[in-house]
């Protein structure tokens, strides 16, 4: 499809972090909390106001930080579970057709982790609530000098409207630019307003063709800052996952101790009686 240079993205709204809620929110989305404010978009959309603009954008990103983890082959089962949870309409929006369970298994089995990037967001129960697939090496028709990656995403119903889709999009853009990709491509149905909203807010150019839409976001070249940001996010995402895993292990241990205690209490009472 023909491509155009995207218009500059809007300036992200300032959202200073304050209080423990923001600190705790760094350990994962809390379904009980109200949706966080919209996160700022990629550096492509950062305001060009001088040397402090980048630092301010980074601080704003931090205030709405969500741990995002790069997934590997070992997560295939969780990826399948996530996608199988999507209802028929969501599968249609995600894949462009109402993928059957079998097609989902096939899709997950076919992800090439050595080439592509798969990003995930886990909740406190380590359920994969949001998933993005960044497919690299996508050809740009008629322009072999250009490099493009295709972005596909899904967020479980209960976790929507909290900015997770947008955060995955930003992170995918960051990873793509750090791999020398100059364009992020999203294929969506024209009726998919949330997806197109995410793309246009980041500055993507949307081309509609009947019921389908193609969005193209031009990415800036990578920089030392963008590489550091990715490395930092990777470490924090990993730390968050391990933290949640430990918390789950401790919680299971406490539960089993409580079960054993209840068992002995009951048998002690029975012996007394």
Ligand X SMILES: CC(C)(COP(=O)(O)OP(=O)(O)OC[C@H]1O[C@@H](n2cnc3c(N)ncnc32)[C@H](O)[C@@H]1OP(=O)(O)O)[C@@H](O)C(=O)NCCC(=O)NCCS
Six-digit token string for 5:
């240079």
Chain residue at closest Cβ approach to ligand X: 165
Any idea which residue has 């150019």 for tokens?
205
Q: Kindly indicate which of the ranges 99-107, 192-200, 249-257, 261-269 contains the residues binding ligand X, using the contact rule CB under 6 A.
A: 192-200
Q: Which of residues 20-39 bind ligand X (CB under 6 A)?
A: 38
Q: Which of 66, 71, 134, 188 binds ligand X (CB under 6 A)?
A: 188
Q: Which is nearer to ligand X, 147 or 154 (CB)?
A: 154
In contact, 51 and 225? CB cutoff 8 Å: no
Q: Which of residues 194-233 bind ligand X (CB under 6 A)?
A: 194-195, 197-198, 201
Residue 195 burial class via C-beta count within 10 angstroms: exposed 0-12, middle 13-18, buried 19 and up: buried
In the complex, minimum distance from the CB of residue 135 to ligand X, in angstroms, rounded to a whole number = 11
In contact, 40 and 12? CB cutoff 8 Å: yes
Residue 128 burial class via C-beta count within 10 angstroms: exposed 0-12, middle 13-18, buried 19 and up: buried
Q: Which of residues 134-153 bind ligand X (CB under 6 A)?
A: 152-153
In the complex, minimum distance from the CB of residue 221 to ligand X, in angstroms, rounded to a whole number = 25
- 44: three-class secondary structure by DSSP: helix
Q: Which of residues 73-102 bind ligand X (CB under 6 A)?
A: 90, 93-94
Q: Kindly indicate which of the ranges 64-72, 118-126, 187-195, 239-247 contains the residues binding ligand X, using the contact rule CB under 6 A.
A: 187-195
User: Quick one: angle between helices 224-272 and 51-63, nearest 10?
Assistant: 20
Contacts to ligand X by CB under 6 A: 38, 90, 93-94, 152-155, 160-166, 188, 192-195, 197-198, 201
């Amino acid at each position: 499809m023909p491509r155009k240079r995207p218009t500059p993205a809007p300036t992200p709204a300032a959202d200073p972090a304050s209080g423990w809620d923001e600190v705790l929110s760094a350990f994962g989305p809390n379904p009980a909390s109200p949706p966080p404010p919209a996160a700022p978009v990629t550096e492509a959309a950062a305001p060009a106001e001088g040397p402090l603009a980048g630092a301010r954008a980074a601080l704003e990103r931090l205030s709405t930080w969500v741990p995002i983890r790069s997934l590997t082959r070992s997560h295939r089962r969780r990826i399948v579970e996530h996608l199988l949870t999507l209802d028929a309409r969501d599968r249609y929006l995600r894949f462009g057709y109402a993928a059957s369970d079998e097609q989902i298994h096939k899709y997950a089995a076919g992800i090439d982790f050595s080439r592509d990037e798969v990003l995930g967001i886990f909740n406190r129960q380590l359920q994969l609530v949001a998933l993005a697939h960044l497919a690299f090496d996508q050809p740009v028709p008629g322009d072999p000098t250009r490099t493009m990656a295709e972005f596909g995403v899904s967020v479980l119903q209960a976790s929507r409207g909290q900015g997770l889709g947008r955060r995955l999009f930003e992170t995918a853009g960051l990873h793509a630019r750090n791999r020398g990709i100059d364009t992020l491509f999203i294929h969506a149905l024209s009726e998919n307003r949330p997806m197109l909203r995410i793309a246009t807010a980041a500055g993507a150019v949307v081309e509609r063709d009947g019921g389908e839409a193609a969005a193209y976001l031009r990415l800036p070249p990578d920089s030392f800052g963008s590489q550091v940001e990715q490395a930092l996010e990777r470490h924090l995402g990993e730390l968050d996952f391990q933290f949640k895993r430990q918390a789950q292990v401790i919680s299971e241990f406490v539960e089993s101790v409580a079960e054993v205690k209840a068992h002995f209490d009951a048998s002690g009472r029975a012996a007394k009686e």
